[in-house]
Structures are given as structure tokens and as C-alpha cells.
Amino acid sequence: MSRLRMSMEVVDPEILTLLARLEQHDIGTYAHSMRVAEYCDWFAGHLNMRRTDRERFFHSALLHDIGKLKIPSDILNKKSRLTDEEWHEIRKHPLYGMEFVRELVASNIVMSDIITMHHENTDGTGYPYNSRTLELPAQVRIIRVIDSFDAMTGNRSYQLVKTVDEALDELIRCQGTLYDPEIVRLFCAHIQNGNQPSS
């Protein structure tokens, strides 16, 4: 695996500004975004992704949930069941995200597909477009898996935390419906071989 990890020290200042706003707005989403980006970069290294693609992937992963800046933090952190209206609002965050990254996308620093499509599913049941993701760039299919893995294992207020093994079982159970089976296979094997981003 490539040891050349992405570093926050060389991230575009515009990205750092957006992340600082996200940290202010909702620390949980900020922490999740940092972990997901670290996992994406770690996995991209394992796949020997080209350096330029890997950089764009890392930047896009850092900002994948930036649209949550427009969702009130009391909805993001609500402990009780969300109303239909609140879910409807949350499901707009991939599209809201584009409002924050247009210039970064125009400069080829961020992939718009990651911002808008990271909740799309392999079988077309995701949101906001109900796209079938097997035709989408690999980075979109990878972040779909890693985003879910972190949602299951990370410390998020509205989800029951799973062990790593339970989370991998869930990824396997949902391969072919929510997730690209090949990405799930590679990701699970890499973790089960004892690899972690910090290792």
C-alpha cells in the first residue's frame, strides 16, 4: 500500500474554510467527514489509485456532507424519530452541497459526483436521483461503502454503534442492493487482513 498519505497541510484553503464552518455548525458531521476522508485515502492507496484522482477523492470526501451546513443542527442531532419533513430536508443535503463547492468543482479540485451521489445505491433506491451506481465513478461507489461503515462504527447520536465485524456483516448483507459487491469484497478483505488507516 502506498504510504504517501494525503495531508491536511496541503489542502486548498477554501476547503479548510468550509470544514471550519462545518465544525462550528455540527461537530459530529465534521468528525465523520474527517474519518471518512481518512478511510477513503487509505483505501485509495490500497487500490493504487492515481495520485491526481486520489487527491480529488480525498478533497471530495472531506466535503461530501458539506450540504449539511444548510440543515439545522437540531435536526442533525435529533435523538427521537425524524418526521417525514425532517427526512425530506436531510435528503436534500447532497444537492445543497453543490452550492458550496461550485468553484472547487470548476477548478477540478472536487468531484461533483461525490457531493451529489454519495447516497445513491447500486439498485437505484438511493437519493436524490435514484441512480444505479455501477455506472458511476469508482470513487462514488467506494465512498458509499465507507460512509456507511463509519455511520455504523462511528459515534453518531442517532444510530446504534456496531462493532467492526457487525458493520462488515451489514455491508456484505447489503452488497448488490446498496453497495457495489466488488468494493465491499475488497474493503472487507482489507480490514479483515488487519489493516486500518492508522496502521
The smaller minimum CB distance to Fe ion, of residues 56 and 118, is found at 118
**Does the protein bind Fe ion through residue 113 (CB under 5 A)?**
no
Q: According to CB under 5 A, which residues from 63 to 102 bind Fe ion?
A: 65
The smaller minimum CB distance to Fe ion, of residues 117 and 188, is found at 117
The smaller minimum CB distance to Fe ion, of residues 26 and 65, is found at 65
CA 132 to chain CA centroid, nearest Å: 17
What radius of gyration do the chain's Cα atoms show? 16
Q: Which of 6, 35, 5, 33 is nearest to 19 (CA)?
A: 33
Give the binding range for Fe ion (CB under 5 A) out of 31-39, 61-69, 76-84, 107-115. Answer: 61-69
Write down the least CB distance from residue 119 to Fe ion, Å.
6
The smaller minimum CB distance to Fe ion, of residues 146 and 183, is found at 146
- Take residue 29 and report the three cell numbers written for it: 458531521
Residue at shortest CB range from Fe ion: 65
3-state helix, strand, coil in the chain (%, to 5): 65, 0, 35
Site size toward Fe ion, by CB under 5 A = 1
The smaller minimum CB distance to Fe ion, of residues 65 and 180, is found at 65
Give the binding range for Fe ion (CB under 5 A) out of 20-28, 30-38, 59-67, 128-136. Answer: 59-67
Integer Cα distance of 115 and 102 in angstroms:
11
Integer Cα distance of 178 and 195 in angstroms:
24
Write down the least CB distance from residue 183 to Fe ion, Å.
17
Integer Cα distance of 49 and 62 in angstroms:
17
Give the binding range for Fe ion (CB under 5 A) out of 9-17, 58-66, 120-128, 165-173. Answer: 58-66
The HSE-up count of residue 113 (CA atoms within 13 Å, CB side) is: 17
Integer Cα distance of 67 and 63 in angstroms:
8
Residues in touch with Fe ion (CB under 5 A): 65
